[in-house]
Amino acid sequence: MDITFSAEELAFRDQVRAFLSENWTDNLATRIRGDNQEFKAAQIEWQNKLNDQGWLAPGWPVEHGGADWSVTENFIFETERSLAGAPDVVPFGLKMVAPVIYGFGSEEQKKRFLPRILKNEDWWCQGYSEPGAGSDLAALKTKAELDGDDYIVNGAKVWTTYAQYSDWIFCLVRTDSSGKRQDGITFLLIDMKSPGITVNKISSIDDHHSLNEVVFDNVRVPVANRIGEQDKGWTYAKALLAHERTSIAAVADSKRRLRDLRKLLAQEVSGGRPLSEDTQFQNRLSNTEIELMALEYTELRVLASTADGKGPGVESSLLKIKGTEIQQAIQQMYMDLAGYYSGVIHGEENAETIGHAFGHDARKAYMYGRAATIYGGSNEVQKNITAKYVLGL
């Protein structure tokens, strides 16, 4: 039992802190919360700073631009980044398709795609879910038929985050319907500028546009854009899912949100007394904080097991379920703290006049936060997975 950081790890933490305090500026923080193109430009600016430092894709193999961090160093970086309030990288290129490309792609594909992802020249989105395939991903129907050197793709993908900004989409498509559902799926990289692709905006309950439907109408995709073998796409995609579940837990981010919430509690008053003295609020805070203290160690247990070469193990579904429950409990507390102001819609220009500006952000976080228990395999599906593979039921 040893959770102390070594001298080298502490020095690394100081280096991360110094980098963040210099590069994660208030200006950037404001712009990254902005809408549409402003958001994209600010996010790219931030990711370019990370790339200049060599920290944009730390998990990649070193020859492609990875940082060769230990599990602990990665944990330190993610913790410090979250505590500073800096956003995660947009994961679709860097954390989702890139590992598939360097893990299963051809040399040409690696040369063609990885440098452009690293330089933030290509934005990617994820084409997994379909109108008829949500948690039951293997039910997907978008069809790809071979025609000479091309596949012809027909169908629709849905809940595609940031499709409106994207240059490329990675898709799971059906190339065979004869056998087991998982066996006829192929992994394709598709240029979003291809004729026949339509992106339809989906407005979400947080008054924001991040989700889309992507429709494919006889879209031609060169066979050269196929990852690995035809019909083996499920294997490539599955390798990523455990990673996705682990990162969704966002333990350090919840720590920061709780810390900031406590500052707000001390500022907001009821009956002339700060709400931080309210015993109801204190109990709700500690209910969540105690779960989070435990989850932090659950995450460390997963990391220690990964560092031992045992893989993330049985706890990754648990991390996803508990992590997202905690996120939603925190969002709820922000909402309740804002009271009437949780319902106020305003922009930057009139926030000061109206007051209690955090109410606006609280509602957006709460509304979009409903997604966390749904995406990455809904929490109920995580329980099915745990029941089957961990408890042997």
Partner 1 sequence: MNFNLSEEQNMLKYSVTRFVQDQYDFESRRANAASELGFNPKNWQTFADLGWLSIPFDEAHGGFGGGATDVMAVMEEMGKGLVVEPFIATVLMFGGLLNKSGNAALQEANIEKIIDGSLQGGFAYLERQSRFELADVKTQAKRDGNEFVLNGEKTVVSNGAAANKVVVSARTSGEQCDEAGITLFLIDTDAPGVERTTYRLMDGQVVANIKLTDVRVAADHVLGDVDQGYPLIEAIVSDVIIALGAEALGIMQKLTTTTIEYTKTRQQFGVAISSFQALQHRMVDMFMAGEQAKSMLYRAVCAAESGAEDLAKNIAALKVMIGRNGKLIGDEAIQLHGGMGLTDELDVGHYVKRLMMINTTFGDADFQQKKFNKLSYSD
| Positions in 252-271 near partner 1 (CB under 8 A) | 262
Q: 23, 276, 328, 332: which one contacts partner 1 (CB under 8 A)?
A: 276
Residue 244 annotated among the catalytic residues of the structure: yes
Among 176, 244, 260, 291, binds partner 1 (CB under 8 A): 291
User: Which residue, 303 or 367, is less far from partner 1 as judged by CB?
Assistant: 303
Catalytic residue chosen out of the listed positions 9, 244, 289, 296: 244
* CA 25 from centroid of its chain's CA atoms: 22
With b for 16 or more beta-carbon neighbours within 10 A and e for fewer, the 144-157 pattern comes to beeeeebbbbbbbb
Q: Is residue 384 a contact point for partner 1 (CB under 8 A)?
A: yes
Structure token digits, residue 338: 């804002």
Minimum CB separation of residue 81 from partner 1 in Å reads: 19
Question: How would you classify the pairing of strands 185-191 and 168-174?
Answer: antiparallel
Beta pairing partners, 199: 214
**Which among 27-35, 240-248, 288-296, 336-344 is the span making contact with partner 1, rule CB under 8 A?**
288-296
280 lies in the binding site for partner 1 (CB under 8 A): no
Tell me which of 242, 303, 367, 371 binds partner 1, using CB under 8 A.
303
Identify which range of 11-19, 117-125, 204-212, 286-294 contacts partner 1 by CB under 8 A: 286-294
Closest to 76 in 3D by CA, of 147, 128, 4: 4
* Alpha-carbon dihedral 90, 312, 15, 65, rounded to 10 degrees: -60
Q: Which is nearer to partner 1, 62 or 393 (CB)?
A: 393
Q: Please give the residues from 35 up to 94 whose contact with partner 1 meets the rule CB under 8 A.
A: 72
Of 179-187, 205-213, 219-227, 300-308, which segment contacts partner 1 by CB under 8 A? 300-308
Judged by beta carbon, residue 237 or residue 285, the one nearer partner 1 is 285
* Residues 6+ positions from 179 with CB-CB distance below 8 Å: none
* Nearer residue to partner 1 within complex by CB, 178 or 280: 280
Amino acid at 207: D
Question: Which residues, at least 6 apart from 8, have a Cβ–Cβ distance to it below 8 Å?
Answer: none
CB of 141 to partner 1, least distance (A): 25
**Does 315 contact partner 1 by CB under 8 A?**
yes
Report the alpha-carbon distance of residue 362 to residue 360 in Å, rounded: 5
Q: Among 29, 202, 264, 304, which residue sits at the site for partner 1 (rule: CB under 8 A)?
A: 304
Site stretch for partner 1 (CB under 8 A), options 113-121, 183-191, 277-285, 363-371: 277-285
Binding mask 154-193 for partner 1 (x = CB under 8 A): ----------------------------------------
Q: Which of 300, 357, 367, 374 binds partner 1 (CB under 8 A)?
A: 300
Binding partner 1 by CB under 8 A: which of 148, 271, 347, 392? 392
- Told to check if 282 binds partner 1 by CB under 8 A, we report yes
Surface-to-core class of residue 292, CB atoms within 10 Å of its CB (0-12 exposed, 13-18 middle, 19+ buried): buried
313 φ/ψ angles, rounded to the nearest 5 degrees: 75, -165
Using CB under 8 A as the binding rule, whether residue 13 contacts partner 1 is answered as: no
| Nearest-approach distance from CB 114 to partner 1, in angstroms | 30
Q: In the complex, what is the shortest distance from the CB of residue 261 to partner 1, in angstroms, rounded to a whole number?
A: 11
Distance of alpha carbon 340 from alpha carbon 14, whole angstroms: 41
242-to-61, 101, 102, 172, 326 alpha-carbon distances in Å: 19, 17, 18, 17, 19
Q: How far apart are CA 41 and CA 3, in angstroms?
A: 39
Torsion angles phi and psi, residue 172, rounded to 5? -95, 125
Three-class DSSP category at 172: strand
Q: Decide if 40 contacts 93 (C-beta within 8 A).
A: no
Rg (Cα) of the chain, in Å, rounded? 22
Of positions 294, 310, 339, 355, contacts partner 1 by CB under 8 A: 294
159/251 Cα distance (integer angstroms): 24
Among residues 11 and 290, whose Cβ is nearest to partner 1? 290
What whole-number distance in Å separates Cα of residue 191 and Cα of residue 196? Answer: 11
Write out the catalytic residue numbers: 244
Contact positions vs partner 1 (CB under 8 A): 1-5, 72, 262, 276, 279, 282-283, 285-287, 289-291, 293-298, 300-301, 303-304, 307-308, 315, 318, 321-322, 380, 383-384, 386-387, 390-393
